[in-house]
Amino acid sequence: MPPVLRIFKGSLLLGTALVDGELTLVELAEDAGIEIPTNCTSGTCGTCMVRLIEGEIALDDPLPPGLDDYLVKQGARLACIGIAKGDVSIDILPPL
């Protein structure tokens, strides 16, 4: 069974998309008919911040300007550069 991205807004499941290890979370969400706001598309501005509920989304080292250690500990990930690794659930409501 292929891995799946589940996209929530709070407790409401908005949709799902099959994970492709080459596509970002923003691109996968678009495939599911869900828009995640973006601005820079490079991890700099933080506009596309989502909260990781379950699964793994690799982080760049060093962290991009749109994230810091505190936000990462709260589950923050940037959807414009985030790549899902297997089954992943995200909440499009930011972690703050």
User: How many whole angstroms separate alpha carbon 10 and alpha carbon 21?
Assistant: 25
Contacts of 81 (CB under 8 A, 6+ apart): 24, 41, 42, 43, 60, 64
Domain edges within the chain: 4-91
User: How high is the pLDDT of residue 86?
Assistant: 97
User: How many whole angstroms separate alpha carbon 65 and alpha carbon 59?
Assistant: 12
pTM reported for the whole predicted model: 0.94
Assigned CATH topology for domain 4-91:
Ubiquitin-like (UB roll) (3.10.20)
Q: pLDDT of the chain along its 96 residues, tens only?
A: 899 999 999 999 999 999 999 999 999 999 999 999 999 999 999 999 999 999 999 999 999 999 999 999 999 999 999 999 999 999 998 776
CA angle at 36 for the pair 23 and 43, rounded to the nearest 5°: 65
